[in-house]
C-alpha cells in the first residue's frame, strides 16, 4: 500500500488534490470548460476526457481552497428532482404559514423568498443545504396527521423505493423514508405514528433531511455512524442540528431494543469506489449499515445497496447473521446491478477523485462495468449461506402500487427464481409496491394493502 495517498481528513484530501488540479473559478463548470482551465498534468486531462465521454458524468463545482488553488470536486451530490413535493411550515412567533413545494419552480421561489443569494437556481440537488438554511432561519417543518388506515395488521409493508414499514403489536418502524418525490403516492401524513426510523446510508435516495423533518423531532432515528466526506454525510449531526433529540448511531454487532422490536446493526460492504485496489483513504467510505430487524416473531435482514468492494463482500459476513440473530427468516434487498462507471453512483464523477492519483491518471485502470452491488447471482451466494425462508426484492425506485413491472424488478425476480433459487432452500416471495408480508400460523404470505 502506498501511504502517500492515505488521507485522514477532507482537509488533507483537499491539500493533496488542490495542488494536483490548479485552477481558479470553476463553479458550475462542465467537463469541457474544466479541461480548458487545467494547465497541468496531461494524464489528468486524459482522465477528464474519458469522463467527458461518459454521459453519466454531469458537472463539477469548487469546494475548498488552498493558497491560490481551488479544488474541483463533483457538484451533483443528489438525485435531482427527488425531493418534491415537500411541505414546509414557516414558524414566526405564534403564527405558522404552510408552504407546499411541489415542483422545481416552487423550490426556486422558496429560495428567493428565504434568501436572495443562491448561487445556482437551476440546481435542484441541494436539498440538505436548503434544509440547513431554513433551520438557521428558525423555519421548522412539522409532520402532518390524517393517517390512512392501510396499516392495520402486523407485518412488513412495502412502501416506496427503499422505504419499508414494520408494524408489530407495539411498535412501528420505518426504513429510509424519502417522501415527496415526483409521482409519489405516499406521504408521511399517510403513515401511522412512527416510533423509530432506520436509515441505511446517506445517499439521497435513502437519507433526506427534508423528508425526515416532516416527522416529530422526538422520533427515534437509528443510523450508521458516518462522517462528512465526498462519499457520505454526517447524518447524526445534521439531524441533531435539525432538532431531533433521539438520534442513535448504531454500532455493528450491537442490538437496540425498542418496545417489542430489536434492531441489530451489521456491516455493510459494497457501493464504494474501490473494486480492484485498496481504498487510499483511512476515513472515506460510503458509511452504511445493514440491519436485522426482529419483529412479530420473525427476523428480517435488510441489505439495501450492498454487495462487494475491494477485499470485502457481504457474502463474507453472511454466516454472522445467524450468530447474531439466531435464524434469519427473511432477507430483503434490491437486485439491481450497479456497475462502476465514471459517473457512478450519482452522476457526479466523485468516485474518480477518490482514486489514488496513479489510477486516476490512467483510465485503463478504472474498473469500468464492475459490480458494486450484488445483483441476483451475488445475492444467491449470500442466501445459500444464510438460508432464510424467503427472499423479498424491493427498492427498485419510486413507483405506483402494483406497478412493479416498470422497475425492471421482474427481470431480476425471474433470473433469481428460475435459474438460481431451485438449487437452494430459500424461496422468493414476489410482492409489489403497495403489498405487505405477514406471518400467519407459521407461514409467510403476501397481501395487497393498498388498492
Residues that bind Fe ion in the complex, under the rule CB under 5 A? 203, 305
Residue 101 or 345 with smaller CB distance to Fe ion: 345
Residue 161 or 203 with smaller CB distance to Fe ion: 203
Partner residues linked to 308 by β-bridges: 313
How far apart CA 165 and CA 159 sit, in angstroms, is 7
Least separation in angstroms between residue 319's CB and Fe ion is 24
Question: Is the sign of the CA dihedral 325, 331, 336, 337 positive or negative?
Answer: positive
Q: What is the full DSSP assignment across 61-84?
A: EEEEEETTEEEEEE---S-TT-S-
Residue 70 or 305 with smaller CB distance to Fe ion: 305
Residue 206 or 450 with smaller CB distance to Fe ion: 206
Residue 155 or 307 with smaller CB distance to Fe ion: 307
Residue 154 or 305 with smaller CB distance to Fe ion: 305
Least separation in angstroms between residue 294's CB and Fe ion is 24
Determine the number of helices (DSSP H) and then strands (DSSP E) in the chain: 11, 21
Least separation in angstroms between residue 284's CB and Fe ion is 15
DSSP state of 407: G
Least separation in angstroms between residue 176's CB and Fe ion is 10
How far apart CA 425 and CA 199 sit, in angstroms, is 30
- Residue 131 contacts residue 235 (beta carbons within 8 Å): no
Residue 150 or 203 with smaller CB distance to Fe ion: 203
Q: How far is CA 321 from CA 292, 295, 331, in A?
A: 8, 15, 10
Q: What is the full DSSP assignment across 329-387?
A: -EEEE-----B--TTTTTSS-TTGGGS-HHHHT-GGGS-TT-BSB-HHHHHHHHHHHH-
Least separation in angstroms between residue 190's CB and Fe ion is 25
Least separation in angstroms between residue 161's CB and Fe ion is 11
Least separation in angstroms between residue 416's CB and Fe ion is 20
Helix, strand, coil content of the chain in percent (nearest 5): 25, 25, 50
Amino acid at each position: 500500500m502506498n501511504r502517500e495517498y492515505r488521507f485522514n481528513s477532507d482537509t488533507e484530501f483537499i491539500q493533496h488534490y488542490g495542488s494536483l488540479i490548479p485552477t481558479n473559478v470553476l463553479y458550475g463548470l462542465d467537463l469541457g470548460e474544466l479541461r480548458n482551465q487545467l494547465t497541468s498534468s496531461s494524464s489528468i486531462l486524459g482522465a477528464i476526457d474519458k469522463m467527458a465521454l461518459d454521459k453519466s458524468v454531469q458537472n463539477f463545482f469548487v469546494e475548498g481552497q488552498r493558497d491560490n488553488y481551488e479544488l474541483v470536486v463533483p457538484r451533483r451530490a443528489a438525485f435531482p428532482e427527488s425531493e418534491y413535493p415537500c411541505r414546509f411550515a414557516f414558524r414566526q412567533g405564534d403564527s405558522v404559514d404552510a408552504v407546499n413545494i411541489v415542483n422545481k419552480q416552487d423550490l426556486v421561489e422558496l429560495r428567493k423568498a428565504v434568501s436572495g443569494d443562491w448561487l445556482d437556481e437551476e440546481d435542484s440537488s441541494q436539498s440538505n443545504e436548503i434544509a440547513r438554511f431554513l433551520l438557521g432561519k428558525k423555519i421548522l417543518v412539522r409532520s402532518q396527521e390524517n393517517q390512512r388506515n392501510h396499516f392495520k395488521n402486523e407485518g412488513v409493508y412495502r412502501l416506496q423505493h427503499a422505504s419499508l414499514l414494520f408494524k408489530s403489536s407495539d411498535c412501528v418502524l420505518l426504513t429510509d423514508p424519502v417522501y415527496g418525490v415526483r409521482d409519489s403516492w405516499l406521504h408521511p401524513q399517510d403513515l401511522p405514528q412512527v416510533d423509530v426510523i432506520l436509515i441505511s446510508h446517506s445517499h439521497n435516495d435513502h437519507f433526506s433531511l427534508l423528508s425526515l423533518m416532516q416527522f416529530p423531532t422526538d422520533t427515534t432515528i437509528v443510523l450508521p455512524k458516518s462522517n462528512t466526506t465526498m462519499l457520505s454525510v454526517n447524518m447524526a449531526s445534521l439531524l441533531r442540528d435539525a432538532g431531533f433529540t433521539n438520534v442513535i448511531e448504531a454500532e455493528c454487532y450491537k442490538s437496540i431494543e425498542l418496545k417489542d422490536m430489536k434492531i441489530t446493526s451489521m456491516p455493510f460492504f459494497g457501493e464504494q469506489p474501490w473494486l480492484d485496489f485498496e481504498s487510499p483513504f483511512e476515513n472515506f467510505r460510503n458509511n452504511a449499515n445493514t440491519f436485522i430487524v426482529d419483529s412479530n416473531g420473525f427476523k428480517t435482514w435488510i441489505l439495501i445497496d450492498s454487495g462487494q468492494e475491494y477485499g470485502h463482500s457481504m457474502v463474507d459476513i453472511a454466516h454472522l447473521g445467524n450468530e447474531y440473530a439466531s435464524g434469519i427468516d427473511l432477507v430483503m434487498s434490491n437486485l439491481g446491478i450497479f456497475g462502476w462507471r465514471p459517473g457512478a453512483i450519482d452522476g457526479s464523477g466523485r468516485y474518480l477523485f477518490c482514486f489514488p492519483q496513479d489510477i486516476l491518471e490512467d483510465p485503463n485502470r478504472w474498473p469500468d462495468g464492475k459490480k458494486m452491488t450484488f445483483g441476483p447471482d451475488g445475492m444467491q451466494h449470500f442466501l445459500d449461506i444464510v438460508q432464510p425462508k424467503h427472499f423479498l426484492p424491493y427498492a427498485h425506485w419510486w413507483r405506483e402500487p402494483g406497478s412493479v413491472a416498470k422497475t425492471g424488478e421482474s427481470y431480476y425476480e425471474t433470473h433469481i427464481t428460475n435459474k438460481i433459487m431451485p438449487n437452494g432452500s430459500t424461496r422468493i416471495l414476489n410482492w409489489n409496491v403497495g403489498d405487505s408480508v405477514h406471518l400467519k400460523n407459521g407461514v409467510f404470505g403476501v397481501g395487497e394493502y393498498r388498492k
